[in-house]
Chains A and B, each alone.
Chain A
């Protein structure tokens, strides 16, 4: 008799489990450059880019990623890693939605593997994963040459269809049933990820995703 497969819960991170987004991380690092002037210049550039980020994110997550991660170009790996714990304590930890703890807790009680799949950077995500006790997570990773960020990402770039593709590979490797799995996201770009699991749900959705969820009769969660 064939062994029955377990399920998993796949979570997007930013906007889903925490209220911060990629820009918060960028702004945090921009304010911690070497020297006041450098910090000021980097912060100003980040804030001036906000409208551009907003527009490109609506247009295409890939274009957004190209523009966004370029902002890290020239930053040292040591520096990014050094401030990662502070970023977690000061910015990310207070931003965890109250309902996120419960959602993860209820999923664990069902025996589901907890998996976070996010477009955020590994160095900013790791402390949060330790805090939440989640060992399975996949993130984006900056490319470093001689210890300095190039502003490019190492493949695979976690966004949109790539997330769904990664989930397929992961579930096959780990013998996880997709139809018994759950997926949670706040972003329209994660539609492929929602489409491949048996129990999709949207979290704190914007208007477009809410309409899609209503159309597909998916649960709409508010974890705030």
Chain B
């Protein structure tokens, strides 16, 4: 009876009963079926909010009815210098079906600029210290027409290592510098086009982080700031967000920024794969057939082919809100809409938290989820998807499911390899790593060249990935990597390993007790545990 009552807490919360179906879990490029212990609480993504029926109209309305500033058309004068900055490929995930929302916004904005005699327009991808987007990715993001008109002279990636292309616009009261992209900072008008995927995105972060340099970034991308963020997905309790807001105020004083923010729903998959987001108890025979067909096909493919297949499935996200104007009022409304889509009310922390790690992260688009990225997804993103207090209680056990293969993308993540194999065996202490090695990696000429001329993440980026898991690392009592195909990767990361989930749960129970409350995040999901 108790279980029957517990079933009804929220439509996205399901408790495992005696007759429950096994649950689908992602584990890297695979999807596995697991029978969970009775009483396990499983969190699913909320049902998708219906997308706006006419996104062009919604965008135009937002441009003409902005918050706390004049409409965009009223700010335009012939001959003025305008820069349009856009989010990079880390948003949304996986990359969305074309036309990308950025393309739609840009088409409207660029037409408006042209109609008002504004010809000096550059489009800059606000990739910060992320990798430069490839030509193909850039074309896909904005569509062939804009690409043909602007690439490569007026449509390009931000370069955080190009001294002449950067300018210091101010500093915080702690004398921390804020250096921004010169073209953006010296424009008469900077328009920022954002897609808000998780609550940490957008707002002041768009310009102050997306267009800054290494020295500016390292002031807030540090272990202490992450430790002080509870969580960084909750803007009100995020030390990271508070620091970025201070920088944003400097930006607002020096640069005229017009923010265009969009919120999207959580339709990660189309009809062919949307069963992955649903309660397995509600599967139709056709759903089960699709899953088995997918599993069979995947089992016949080598890992790189499985990865390519998954990465070739674009997400079906739809725009659910668009606001424009000054950063704070715009962001407040967009974050509220995001929480409406993502927040799942939860009562009670878990002793054991289970999460499968899918082959999806902001940092491995069209690439490999290397061990450091597995870490950032588990202890960073999945752990931080909460509001008020962590879903996992202090000292609890986090079980992740991933093969943990020792595989890196040499083109995108060269400095990750050295970080993982040279530094982590020496120390896992984030403060020591920052003090002793971060600058060495950031100034390594090879990594700088690979960031600037290739498509590598900045030399310092693996450090930020490690810090990103810092509050999770401090909070959990133990991490168990289930399904890890080797012992040394979990070992280097400071984790225990188990052959499978059953063994991992037994290990966790021996640590937390047999009556431990178990919760599973039904990945892939974007959902915020809204803790009572």
Q: Mark A residues whose CB is within 8 Å of B.
A: 9, 99, 102-103, 106-107, 109-110, 182, 184, 199, 201, 213-214, 217, 219-223
Contacts and interface: CB of A to CB of B under 8 A. Distances in A.
Q: Which residue among B408, B411, B446, B448 has the maximum number of chain A CB atoms within 10 Å of its CB?
A: B446
A217 B446 CA distance: 13
Given A222-B453, A222-B454, A223-B453, A217 B421 contact: yes
* List of 7 A-B pairs having minimum Cβ-Cβ separation, nearest first: A106-B445, A219-B446, A201-B446, A217-B417, A219-B414, A107-B445, A221-B449
B449 A223 contact: yes
A110 B445 CA distance: 9
A103 B433 CA distance: 25
A107 B444 CA distance: 8
Contacts of A223: 449, 453
A221 B453 contact: yes
B347 interface: no
A220 B414 contact: yes
A103 B449 CA distance: 7
Given A217-B417, A221-B453, A221-B454, A106 B448 contact: yes
A224 to B, nearest CB: 8
A173 B446 CA distance: 26
Contacts of B337: none
Summarize B's interface: helix, strand, loop or mixed. Answer: helix
A100 B418 CA distance: 23
Contacts of A220: 410-411, 414, 450, 454
Contact of A221 (B408, B421, B446): B446
Given A106-B443, A110-B443, A199-B444, A217 B408 contact: yes
Nearest to A219: B446
B443 A219 contact: no
B452 interface: yes
Summarize A's interface: helix, strand, loop or mixed. Answer: mixed
Given A102-B448, A103-B445, A106-B449, 7 more contacts: A102-B452, A103-B446, A107-B445, A110-B445, A219-B410, A220-B450, A221-B454
Interface size class of B (residues with CB under 8 A): 10 to 19
A219 B408 CA distance: 12
B447 interface: yes
Contacts of A102: 448-449, 452
Contacts of B417: 217
Interface in B409-458: 410-411, 414, 417-418, 421, 443-450, 452-454
A27 to B, nearest CB: 29
A110 B449 CA distance: 14
Contacts of A201: 446
A214 B410 contact: yes
Q: Which residue among B411, B443, B448 has the maximum number of chain A CB atoms within 10 Å of its CB?
A: B448
Nearest to B455: A222
Contacts of B453: 99, 221-223
A118 B278 CA distance: 63
Contacts of B421: 217
A217 B410 contact: yes
B443 A199 contact: no
A110 B439 CA distance: 11
B445 A182 contact: yes
B428 to A, nearest CB: 20
Contacts of A109: 443
A133 to B, nearest CB: 16
A94 to B, nearest CB: 19
Nearest to B408: A217
A215 to B, nearest CB: 10
Nearest to B453: A99
A102 B454 CA distance: 14
A221 to B, nearest CB: 5
Nearest to B417: A217
15 contacts: A9-B445, A102-B452, A103-B445, A107-B445, A184-B446, A213-B410, A214-B410, A217-B418, A219-B450, A220-B411, A220-B414, A221-B446, A221-B454, A222-B453, A223-B453
Interface in B349-387: none
Interface in B141-184: none
Contacts of A213: 410
